Structure 1
Amino acid sequence: MNGASVSASPLEAHSAAKKGLSGDDGHSAALWIAAIGLLLVVGVPFTFIVLQAIFPELGRGSLAAPFSNLGKTLSDPLLPRMALNTVGLGVAVAAISALIGVPLAAFRGLFKVPGAKVWDALMLVPFMIPPYIATLGWIMTLQPNGYLQQLAGFNLAPFLFSLGGMAFVMALNCFPVIYFGVSRTLEAVGGRYSDVGRVFGASPWRAFWRITLPLSIPGLAASLLLIFAMAIEEYGTPAALGRHAGFEVLVTQIELRVSDWPIDLPGASIMALTLVLLSFSAFLVQRRVLSARNFQTTGGKPQAFNKRPLGPLAVPVLMFFALIAFLAAGAPLFAILATALSRTISGGLVLDNLTLANFSRIYEDGAGALKALTLSLSLGVATAIVAGLLGAIASYVVVKTKSRGRFLLDTLTIIPNALPGIVVAIGLVLAWNQPWLPVSPYNTSLILLLAYCCILLPQPVRYTTAALHQIGDNLEAAARVFGASRMVVFRRILLPLIAPSLVASMLLVFAVASRELVASLLVAPVGTHTVASFIWRQFEQGSVGLGMGMAFVTIVLTTLVPFAILILLRRASGHDAML
């Protein structure tokens, strides 16, 4: 190494780094990898949804009669009602989630709650129970002759099979979004602003309602938007509960048009775009709310915030936490395990009716359960790897380079946020089931991988983008001065720094992909079952115990595997630190 290279001035280092940022083989490679991956995973399905909505004969390879199906679908007398039902369900779920989550978040964020970390862990459990499985558990509990009637002598079937029942069951799965988001926001806001209000005569309730809660609106608005989007795209709960009550929503109608004869792909595409429009409208409402006011609470050095003791509220607050934890996690898990252990459903909760036969059938693979479990876990791992790497590369190009195509990449990473799972599935069916394609992943397991990657890509993108924004450009510039290529810098410097965020997102992707329902039902190859489709089919065929046995095994695996990996990584990082 010569002296000139060692003694390079800061100006030369900055010049060299800037030159590398403007055009480099490593950047070009990253740009092309991200562009091809995102176009394949996101661009292709979304484009074909739009094309199919415009050209109804696209499936036959014809562009004839554009927009001819638009009027027919939009004039369907059921469409306005289904759209209103969809919006109403989303709003109801968001409202109930707020009623549950905001008080919990307020106590957690502003007061010293005994066992706070334990309650945080318990509030995570509803995330690990797939919504459709939780719904099936509530059906077994509240239906006539269900577990509630066996234990207490009455049932709540009329409530369960109603809009209120659907919204309540879905809210029990969604409220943790508000709990974690708003509690952390309230911790950041602290109590100093409400204390000022108290000095000027405001009551504690008025100070919270008029000062503290409005300052937490950014976290609350983001949480409500996410819950609304989750609710309007959820298929399992409306399909299991809504059809009994004659309550049709867009997502169930889209699935019906794709799966039942005569198949109506153009109509399904138009309804899918309507669903996307609803999601995007909610996003615009959130932006308008946040842009209308100033929510800044930090203007200088951070101030310590000492949480207040609960005092006489301790017992009722803990009872409230316990009640919600029981309803959101305890009751569904009890119903799932009780059903899995039952020899027959009609036998009830008696000792003679308990057996491990359903778990033995899973192990023996008599109904293809083990194959479905193996396939889902394999797809979960593959999705985590592909989505994680693609998300990391795309985020790197968008955040750390000046490439001309980064705006397009940024757009492609945002689109999946507005694409419900069923819309992605429809787009993949349309894109890869064209008769003129010489080779297609359709009717293979690869189509499931593409669907899962598109649905879950926002998770690694959000996590890695935030991590990359926290890394200064000086590290990359220093490495470039000493001859490191862009790919070496990314692999040896940036990737290790974003690894904690990336690994966390990949574990989340694994957990969700291993049990994804709607895409599995629509695009899985004929005769191929994932865990989700296996459980759904068992309920349709009356093998409820086997389905619940598979559900319990899936919940345990998708919960324990990520936790075990996190523990191993923490131990490894601790060992490295000691070395």
Structure 2
Amino acid sequence: MAKSRAAISPTVALAAVGLSIVVAVPFLAIVLQAIFPTLGRGSFAAPFSAFAGALGDAALIGMAGNTLLLGFCVVVLSAVVSVPLAIARALFRVPGAAIWDVMFLIPFMIPPYIAVLGWIMTLQPRGYLFQLAGFDLGSFLFSLPGIVFVMTLNTFPVVYFAVSRTVETVGSRYADVARLFGATPARAFWRVTLPLSTPGLAASLLLVFAMAIEEYGTPAALGRRAGFDVLVTAIDLRVSDWPIDLPGAAILSLILVILSFCAFLLQRWVLNRRSYEATTGKPQDTSKRELGVWTFPVLALFALVAFVATILPLLAILATALSRTISGGLAWSNLSFRHFAAILGDTTGALKALSTSLSLGVGAALITGLLGALSAYAVVKSRARGRGVLDVLTILPNSLPGIVVAVGLILAWNQPWLPITPYNTSLILLLAYCCILLPQPVRYATAAFHQIGDNLEAAARVSGASSLTAFRRILLPLIAPSLLAAMLLVFAVATRELVASVVIAPVGVSTISTYIWRQFEQGSVGLGMAMAFVTILITTALPLIVLSLMGRRGSLL
């Protein structure tokens, strides 16, 4: 049955309006700034004059190559770590599966700049590892392998949750059919189950690549000592160091857009080569197999990853938060709860910052979840004109560092002729978070829509349902698990986003990240780590409560 453009136009229209406000406006401001270097002074003179200086930088090729190399290495290592775990989680009865999910969710809750500091405190000369075992791994940490290692620990949950949920949706029914025709279990997996899971794998790896090439904290903290410069750190220098070079920063950001867009085209090529529909309206066999003799090796693998990715960083953060002084080291006499007392007593404004970030995180998750689902539907399920433009708009934010998104929002909304503007209010932070994090729900929803056959929506339309009703009552519940996972990731990242928050946070508005950052600047590392530890606990507990409530509601239904 052919899809009707008129029937789906309301969905496409809603997606177009939302993407225009959240993505197109700040991105257009960045493009105009790159073309017109004097735009900040209200002038359109000398267009394109800044390109020669920015593109003529001798270090540009090296920084672009380092950016690509870093993104590729993080993608490969994230896949190596997470795909085996995700497959075991989806197809087999893994003892304590829910606990492992929580353990793998926590690394994503740890802000990258906090995780980096924790690893520095652990692996540097005279660090925690040296104090406990007598040796350090500082030479490894401050190198490309060390940077890739730390960034992978932060990004592998994206692949783990996406692939495990996708493989779980596919189930083992199709592989069982292949085995009936003589295929071995390994051949059935490689030729049937894994190819059908390609949408989730491709979407998550694209997210990891985009996260890697735009991440600032880890390359800035580790890369500079290793002489490993990337585009994001170069952009930061142009924005933060005098003389400020907004046109140069915008031009380098456009290069990041091109790199991420190439990855996006590769993903689209993979997805368009064949059909990945796995949800057709027939009941799926959700039963899982026993691990048998593989129980201990699988549990050992889960435990190893959980220990390295979750327990070690948390112990480093907690040790620093409990230390009276950093120079005192790991000694009982140096331990104290005074930093936590200061946080919970709100003597430094910590609870207000925590409340602000949690509210903005919930708002960003709800907005990006709805807009992501609408955008993915418009791109995957509609035939509306301009859906390719919508698809491009959904991938652009992953190519823009937070600092550049912040600059784009300032250029777009800090104009005297605007009658109403979110600038200098908390809404500007919400717009920044939505712009930066929108690709996550879009990619998850896109992967889910690729697995849903058109016959379900067609049946609803034949029965008299409108396009919005079919979307709300049929399609949205089917993609809800993937979309909910993406929204939880958005919440986790939004509550601890740093760079954009530092630049555009209104006077008097403090978030978790700006609070921690100011503590570090003031030398109160222990107080900052205490705030980070409290934040990790809260941002982990809230998603678990949501998942628990959703599970109970599903069981009642």
- TM-score with structure 2 length normalisation? 0.84
Q: What amino acid is aligned across from residue 147 of structure 2 in structure 1?
A: M
Q: Give distance in 1, aligned partners of 2:386 and 2:64.
A: 36
- 2:227 is matched with 246
- Spell out, residue by residue over 1:254-285, the C-alpha distance to the aligned partner (whole angstroms, 9 max, x if none): 12211222111100000001111111122233
Q: What amino acid is aligned across from residue 270 of structure 1 in structure 2?
A: I
Distance 1:339 1:248, change over 3 A: same
Q: Which moved more, 1:462-471 or 1:362-371?
A: 462-471
- 1:385 is matched with 366
Distance 1:195 1:329, change over 3 A: farther
Q: What amino acid is aligned across from residue 22 of structure 1 in structure 2?
A: A
Q: Give distance in 1, aligned partners of 2:553 and 2:192.
A: 41
- 2:6 is matched with 22
Q: 2:341 aligned with 1:354, yes or no?
A: no
Distance 1:250 1:331, change over 3 A: same
Q: Give distance in 1, aligned partners of 2:290 and 2:352.
A: 53
Distance 1:419 1:162, change over 3 A: same
Q: Does structure 1 conserve the Cα–Cα contact (< 8 Å) formed by 2:161 and 2:485?
A: no
Q: 2:267 aligned with 1:267, yes or no?
A: no
Q: 2:309 aligned with 1:328, yes or no?
A: yes
Q: Give distance in 2, aligned partners of 1:573 and 1:115.
A: 21
Q: Any unmatched runs of 5+ in structure 1?
A: 1-13
Distance 1:396 1:534, change over 3 A: same
Match of 2:457 among 443, 459, 472: 472
In our comparison, the structure showing a higher alpha carbon Rg is 1
Q: Give distance in 1, aligned partners of 2:369 and 2:91.
A: 35
Q: Does structure 2 conserve the Cα–Cα contact (< 8 Å) formed by 1:236 and 1:517?
A: no
Q: Secondary structure at the match of 2:247?
A: helix
Q: Give distance in 2, aligned partners of 1:294 and 1:402.
A: 17
Q: Does structure 2 conserve the Cα–Cα contact (< 8 Å) formed by 1:86 and 1:232?
A: yes
Q: Give distance in 1, aligned partners of 2:326 and 2:131.
A: 12
Q: What amino acid is aligned across from residue 338 of structure 1 in structure 2?
A: A
Distance 1:33 1:400, change over 3 A: same
The residue correspondences of 1:219-238 to structure 2 (distance < 5 A) are 220-238=201-219
Q: Which moved more, 1:41-50 or 1:316-325?
A: 316-325
Q: Secondary structure at the match of 1:325?
A: helix
Q: What amino acid is aligned across from residue 376 of structure 1 in structure 2?
A: S
Q: Which moved more, 1:322-331 or 1:524-533?
A: 524-533
- 1:72 is matched with 53
Q: What amino acid is aligned across from residue 457 of structure 2 in structure 1?
A: G
Q: What amino acid is aligned across from residue 43 of structure 1 in structure 2?
A: A
Q: Give distance in 1, aligned partners of 2:82 and 2:487.
A: 26
Q: Does structure 2 conserve the Cα–Cα contact (< 8 Å) formed by 1:61 and 1:435?
A: no
Q: 2:354 aligned with 1:369, yes or no?
A: no
1:295: how far off? Answer: 8.9
Q: Which moved more, 1:354-363 or 1:270-279?
A: 354-363
Q: Which moved more, 1:96-105 or 1:535-544?
A: 96-105
The residue correspondences of 1:4-403 to structure 2 (distance < 5 A) are 22=6, 33-105=14-86, 108=89, 113-182=94-163, 185=167, 190=175, 215=195, 218=198, 220-288=201-269, 307=289, 309=291, 311=293, 314-394=295-375
Q: Secondary structure at the match of 2:408?
A: helix
Q: 2:556 aligned with 1:556, yes or no?
A: no
1:409: how far off? Answer: 4.2
Q: Give distance in 2, aligned partners of 1:116 and 1:191.
A: 23
1:562: how far off? Answer: 1.9
1:320: how far off? Answer: 2.9
Q: Does structure 1 conserve the Cα–Cα contact (< 8 Å) formed by 2:196 and 2:277?
A: no
The residue correspondences of 1:442-453 to structure 2 (distance < 5 A) are 442-453=423-434
1:359: how far off? Answer: 1.4
Q: Does structure 1 conserve the Cα–Cα contact (< 8 Å) formed by 2:381 and 2:449?
A: no
- 1:8 is matched with none
Q: What amino acid is aligned across from residue 345 of structure 2 in structure 1?
A: E
1:210: how far off? Answer: 8.4
1:533: how far off? Answer: 2.2
Q: Does structure 2 conserve the Cα–Cα contact (< 8 Å) formed by 1:59 and 1:435?
A: no
Q: Give distance in 2, aligned partners of 1:365 and 1:389.
A: 35
Equivalenced residues, count: 547
Q: Give distance in 1, aligned partners of 2:363 and 2:269.
A: 38
Q: Does structure 2 conserve the Cα–Cα contact (< 8 Å) formed by 1:340 and 1:547?
A: yes
1:134: how far off? Answer: 1.6
- 2:435 is matched with 454
Distance 1:246 1:442, change over 3 A: farther
Q: Does structure 1 conserve the Cα–Cα contact (< 8 Å) formed by 2:116 and 2:150?
A: yes
Q: Give distance in 2, aligned partners of 1:501 and 1:217.
A: 13
The residue correspondences of 1:494-513 to structure 2 (distance < 5 A) are 503-513=484-494
Q: Give distance in 1, aligned partners of 2:228 and 2:216.
A: 13
Q: Does structure 2 conserve the Cα–Cα contact (< 8 Å) formed by 1:233 and 1:422?
A: no
Q: Which moved more, 1:405-414 or 1:289-298?
A: 289-298
The residue correspondences of 1:478-497 to structure 2 (distance < 5 A) are 478=463
Q: Which moved more, 1:393-402 or 1:280-289?
A: 393-402
Q: Give distance in 2, aligned partners of 1:58 and 1:478.
A: 54
Q: Which moved more, 1:426-435 or 1:54-63?
A: 426-435
Q: 2:523 aligned with 1:542, yes or no?
A: yes
- 1:433 is matched with 414
- Of all paired residues, the percent bearing the same amino acid is 60
Distance 1:117 1:382, change over 3 A: closer
- Spell out, residue by residue over 1:190-222, the C-alpha distance to the aligned partner (whole angstroms, 9 max, x if none): 5887999998xxxx99x7998689858835544
Q: Secondary structure at the match of 1:248?
A: coil
Q: Which moved more, 1:161-170 or 1:181-190?
A: 181-190
Q: Give distance in 2, aligned partners of 1:210 and 1:460.
A: 27
Q: Give distance in 2, aligned partners of 1:308 and 1:491.
A: 36
- Spell out, residue by residue over 1:398-434, the C-alpha distance to the aligned partner (whole angstroms, 9 max, x if none): 6777766666545434443544434422322332234
Distance 1:290 1:489, change over 3 A: closer
1:532: how far off? Answer: 1.4
Distance 1:316 1:488, change over 3 A: closer
Q: Give distance in 1, aligned partners of 2:473 and 2:85.
A: 42
1:496: how far off? Answer: 7.2
- 2:549 is matched with 568
- 1:6 is matched with none
Distance 1:382 1:297, change over 3 A: closer
Q: Secondary structure at the match of 1:472?
A: helix
- TM-score with structure 1 length normalisation? 0.81
Q: Does structure 2 conserve the Cα–Cα contact (< 8 Å) formed by 1:372 and 1:531?
A: yes
Q: What amino acid is aligned across from residue 277 of structure 1 in structure 2?
A: I
